[in-house]
Structure 1
Amino acid sequence: MLQPSGQPSESNPHPESQNTISGSVSGPTVQAGAIHGDLHFHLGQTAPPATPLPVSAQATGKPSPPLRVSKVAGGWVLALLPLLIFSAALGAVVDAATRQGPLVVKLALDLVIVALGVLALRLWSLVARRPFGALTAVVLDRCTPRRLAALSRTTLTVILSLEAVLALTLVVQEVSRGSGDPRSAGANGALVFLLATGFLIARVLVRPRMNPEPRANPVP
C-alpha cells in the first residue's frame, strides 16, 4: 500500500512498481498505474450546455422577404431590358423626326421602321438561304424573354389584358393633347414597349394552337 508521499510501504510486495495519487488533475480523471494501494477518482463538474445563438435568415440560407422581392424585381428588369432599350431608342428617334408631332404621325413612322426591319429580315433569309418563316420564328424566340415565356397562360392573359388597357388609355390621352405638348415626350416609346410585349405575349399564347402536338394513332 502507498504512503501519502507516493512511495511504496514496507508491506508492498512489489517495491519496484510505484504509483502516485498526488498529481494535479482537472476534469473527470482516474489516476492509476500498477495498483497496490488507493485509487484517486476526480470527477469535475459538467459544463452547462451552451446557449444557442439566434440564427439569422442568412445563416439558414433563406433570404428575407425584401431580399426576395428585390431579386425578383431585378430579374424582371434584366429580362425586359433589351425591349426597354429598343422601345426607348425607337421612341426617341421618332419624336426627334416628327418634332413632337401628332400621335398618328408617330405611329405611322413606327410602322415604317418596323417594315424596314421586316424587309431586312427578308433579305437576310435570302442571303442565308433559310425559310423566311423559320428565320422570323427564331428572331422572335430570341426577343421573347424566358421569364415571360415561362409564365402560365392565365398570367399571360391577365398581363395582356392590362397592357391593352394601358395602351388604349395612353392613346386616348395623347389624342386629347395638342401637338407639341412637352408632356408627350416618351409616350411613343412607352406605347411601342406595350405593343411589342403584347405582341410577344400573344404569340406565346397562340403558338401552341398554331403548332399542336401530334396525336398518337389509336391502337386497334
Structure 2
Amino acid sequence: MPSAAERTRTLVQSTCSATLVVPGTEGARPDQLAPDARTVSADGEVFLLFPAGSPPVRAATHARADELPAVLELTDVAPVAVPHRIRGRARISGRLTCAPGIAAPGHMMLRLEVGEVYVDDLWGDEVVDPDDFAHARPDPLAAYETELLQHLAAAHDEQVRSLSTLLGHRAGDGPHAVRRVVPLALDRFGLRVRCRDAAGASFDARFDFPEPVRDIQGLRRSMHTLFEAAAHD
C-alpha cells in the first residue's frame, strides 16, 4: 500500500481542492485562500502561488520574519458519482514566508516550511513525519487518475461490474447481492471500487495489481489482467 507520506505528497501535488488558513484572513472568500498552483521542493517545503494582492500574500508580507503560522488544508473528492464522495483530507501546518523573485509579475510565491502533517483518507488516519513527507514521491498515476476513473465509469461499466465476481462471499446474494460497482480510486498498487447492493448499502473493495505500476503502459497491462481474471472467474 502507499505510505501515508506518499499519499499526502500525492494530494499536495494533485488537483484536489486546497485552502490556506492564515491568521488575519478570516473574512476572506474561500477562493481567495485557494492557491493557483502548488508544488513541493526537494527538501519538502511547500510552495504556493497566489495573486500578489491576495489576503495570504498580504498577511505574509506584513509578518515579522517567519512568525506567521499557516495551515494548508486539502480535500480529495472522488471524480465519479458515488455515495460519500470525499475520499480524504490532509492538513499541513508550518511557518509561512514570501519567496520573492520566483513568480511572474502580478503573483507571489509563498513558502510553507512544514512542521506537522496529518492525513485521513481511505486507508485510515495517520500523523506523517515531515522528513518522510520530504522524501516521499507522488503516485505516478496521480496526473491521470481523474480521467482514467471517469473513462472506466463511462465506457467500461460492465467490465467494472464484473469485478464483483472476484469478491467471493462479499458479493452477497438475493437482496444483498452487489448491483453496482463504481471505480473509486486508483494508484500504482491497485484499484479501489465502491459496491452497492439492491438495498442501497455500500462497501469498498480493493484489487491489487500483480506488481506496482510505473506508467500508463504498465497500468493497461495490469487492468487487462484484472478484467481477464474477472471474466474467467
Give the TM-score band, short-chain normalised.
under 0.3
Higher strand share: 2
Q: Name the one with the larger helix percent.
A: 1
